[in-house]
Each structure stands twice: as structure tokens, then as C-alpha cells.
Structure 1
Amino acid sequence: MLSAVLDLVLPRTCAGCRAKGSRYCGRCLAELTAHPARRLPRPRLPGTPDCWSASPYEGGVRRAIVAYKERGAVALAGVLAEALAFTAVTAIGGTGARWAGQRFAVVPVPSGRASLRARGHDPVRRLAALAARRLRAYGLPAEPWAALRQARRVADQAGLSSAERAANLAGSLRVVGAAKGPPVACVLLVDDIVTTGATLVEASKALRSAGVEVPLAVTVAATRRRS
């Protein structure tokens, strides 16, 4: 609410480059959507789905994601969801005919309860719902499905290695309503950022245990791994 009120009385600035005039300028939008590509974590953990992202996690893209997630700039959701949907369409078009005519669900990686309280919103769930709507506009039979919940608390992931993140997340997610059966057989898993891929692996594992195929994960951005 405060963010919406401030938008009425303060000059708008681009979340990417900080230029005045709009929440996200045309140049930054072009940067965000210019290079959707397969960006797999290195090393690739066992069980990692095929992973595509709109952009590397740097510069204006990084600033926009931080503003959206941590600073209440929820008006950026539409731009980020458009990048997710465009990346998904690109990935689906480049990964064969397995998606043709098949109804699928767009499943967000869930935030922890503490993060939800601190932020006051669920950033990835909002992106998943908007991205599913955009995918339908592209002609793909996508539906949002908030299938995953945290089964237990996990420690802060900052500074952990791939193996440490995997161990920290093991058994941390569950599928809601799995006893009734999943509404679809195939899932597009979405998140805002991929780093080591450990979160995507754990989410995929929980969904597969419920009988759902997870061939693809799409994120807004991917961090550049350094040895």
C-alpha cells in the first residue's frame, strides 16, 4: 500500500538503470528479454531439470529483481513475468514436441514463512500466476498451480556450496493435495533466480514423488558461477 501511495507523489525511476520516467524503461526491458537461454548451474546437481533463464543476474536485471522481491516494487511483477513467459516459450520451442497440445501447470518455488512475513508478499507465486496468463495468450495451455509448500524450516543459504545447499534443503518441500492426485502430468517449474540449482532439484524431487513430470525450469535470472 505504501509503495502505491509513494508512486503517486514521487517521480518514477527505472528499477534497472534509475532513469526518470517509468518503473522499467524500454532499454532495460530489451536487456531483460534479449537473451533467453539454457543456463544450467555448474556443477549440475543430479536431478536438476533442464534450466533456462531470461538473463544473467547482474546489472539492471539484478536491481529490478531486488526491488521487486525485497523493496515492495510489486508493479514490476508484470515485466518480470513477461520475461519468464517469453523464456518459457523459447525453451519449449527448442526442446522438441513433448509439450505439443499438452496441458501443463506453472508451479512456483515457494518462499519460507519468515520470508513471506518480512516481504509482505509472495513474489514467485505472483510471477507464476502472471506468467501462466501470458503463456495462455501465446496459445499454450498453461495453468498456475501453487503445488509446493515448505515441510520444515531451512537455514539461510547464503555462502553455502552446492553440496551444502542440497543437504540443507533435503526433504524441505512437499506437494499440497497430492493424495487427490495432481491436476496435470507435466509441470513448468519457475523461480526468480537460479544459483546452484539445489532448490530446483528439491522442488522437482517433491513433484516427481507425486507422479508429476518436471522436464523444465525457467527463472528470470541465473547467477554466473565462479570457480
Structure 2
Amino acid sequence: MRHGWRELSGLLLPVACAGCGRPRTDLCPVCATALHAGPARPVRPAPRPPGLPVVYAAAPYGNAVRAVLLAHKERGALGLAGALGRALAGGVRAVAGRPDGPGPLLLVPVPSARSATAARGHDPVRRIAAAAARDLRRGGLPAQVAPLLRQRRAVADQAGLRAPQRRANLSGALGVTAGGRALLRQRSSGQGPLHHRRVILVDDLLTTGSTLAEAARALREAAGGVREPSAREVCRAAVVAASPSAFEINRN
């Protein structure tokens, strides 16, 4: 019955692959392979912004992957969250390794500006993070989304900004919620096992790395300051996609 309804709805409301435009499918096998073809790999932009944690990405940002991310983010193709979440989960598994200690793996999404979330009608990174957490739990790895970060001030549109301009634009822009600060300080002070293998920053895209570096700074600060050994490696990061050059740099 469900299959028949999908067929009928496809006739009444035709869909096309978000990656290539192939008709009658949200995501064709070829474009799905671009997202999930191989294991996530370490990536590093050049120049590397100060404070950028270790980052793993599932796929290079280009062609079909770019189109799928934009369709989900800007055009409200919410059905793509599952496929994007599976890709992100691969990055989380790679960067987390085999985390020890009790408690779930915490996926901390990089927050969107409130105005952007309102305009889109959803928070794309948080939605993808939720799908990734479900995929990880199905695979036997306890995981949950932990929205610890918040926007402290407005920032300019990042499009067209060079790496130094992005860093300046984002400097001090993110903070940690009151509940998040209490959690990080409690755990980093030795009262629990929360460390860089259990706190994973997640985002949909890495270009210059400035956003993830600022998010990591906020988490480290909340965990007790970068001078504390327990706070230096509070987190690692995973993204769905990264600029192709970031893959090439880490390969050499």
C-alpha cells in the first residue's frame, strides 16, 4: 500500500533526483554513491585556521554532493536528511574511533543564525545530525544530538569572504548554553569521561574551517579554558562534505 501511494504521489507531484535531476526519485543510485562511496577521510583546509580540531568528511563538495546539500538546506528537500545523515554518521565513526567510557556519543551541531533558520523553515545541520544519530544507534553506537552551542551575535554572510575575513567575522560569535557549560566543566574536571572521542562537532560543509574552529574554541572555553590540559582536546569534528582541496592537502 505504501509503495502504491508513493507511485501515485510521484505521478501527481513529480520528483527528481536532487543531485542530477533524474526523474521519479529523490536521490538516484549514482548520486547516492557520490555521498557514500567510500570511508570518510581526514580533511584539512589551507591555510588551517588556529584551533581547528581533527575533521573527517564523507565526500568532496562538488557536482551531485553540492546539489544534494543545497536542495536539503535551501530548497526544503527534507527527505534527503536520511541520506545526508548516513554520510555524516560515517564521518563520526571515523573521527570517534572506538570511544570508551559510559554514556552516549554527543553530536554537537554548529548552529545556524536564527534569521537563516526562520527563512528556511528548518535547521539543516541539526536535522542531519539527528538522522546521523539514528544511524549510529542502529549500528550499535549510542549517540544523541546535543545542541550545546548558540549564536552570541549576528555575523555577516560568509559568501565571498576570504579565509582571514571569515575568521574575523566569526571571532567570538559562538557561545555555549548554560546547561552545556555545566556539562562540559563537570566532565572535563575529572567527574566523567567526556573528552574529544565523545564530543563530536558536526556540520554539513567545511570550506575554510573557520566555523568549526570558532565552535571548537567555544567548547574549549566552556570546558575550562585552553590552558587546561583536559580542555585542549574537548572535541573532534565530522562533516558531510569538504572542499576537494582539503582532501588533497591531507593526502600529501
**How many Å separate the matches in 2 of 1:101 and 1:9?**
51
1:161 alignment partner AA = R
Is 1:217 aligned to residue 229 of structure 2? no
Instruction: Map residues 174-193 of structure 1 onto 2, 5 A cutoff.
Output: 174-177=175-178, 178-182=180-184, 185-186=194-195, 187-193=199-205
Paired position in structure 1 for 2:173: 172
Paired position in structure 1 for 2:191: none
Shift, 1:50, TM fit: 0.6
Q: TM-score, normalised by structure 1?
A: 0.88
Residue identity (%): 47
User: Would you say the 8 A contact 1:12–1:21 is kept in 2?
Assistant: yes
Instruction: State the structure with more CA Rg.
Output: 2
Paired position in structure 2 for 1:16: 19
Question: Unmatched 5+ residue regions in structure 1?
Answer: 1-5
**Offset from partner CA, 1:171-217 (integer Å, 9 cap, x none):** 10111124533386231010010010000000001111111644421
Shift, 1:218, TM fit: 0.8
2:19 alignment partner AA = G
Is 1:82 aligned to residue 105 of structure 2? no
**Offset from partner CA, 1:131-180 (integer Å, 9 cap, x none):** 11211222222221011110000111112121111111011011112453
Aligned-pair Cα RMSD in Å: 2.0
**How many Å separate the matches in 2 of 1:73 and 1:19?**
15
Question: How many correspondences in the alignment?
Answer: 217
User: Would you say the 8 A contact 1:33–1:54 is kept in 2?
Assistant: yes
User: Would you say the 8 A contact 1:181–1:210 is kept in 2?
Assistant: no
Classify 1:91/1:168 alpha carbon distance in 2 versus 1 (closer, same or farther; 3 Å).
same
Paired position in structure 1 for 2:106: 105
Paired position in structure 2 for 1:31: 34
User: Would you say the 8 A contact 1:112–1:150 is kept in 2?
Assistant: yes
Question: Unmatched 5+ residue regions in structure 2?
Answer: 1-8, 188-193, 224-230, 247-252
Point out the structure with the larger helix share. 2
Paired position in structure 2 for 1:152: 153
Q: TM-score, normalised by structure 2?
A: 0.80
Shift, 1:223, TM fit: 1.6
Bigger CA drift: 19-28 or 196-205?
19-28
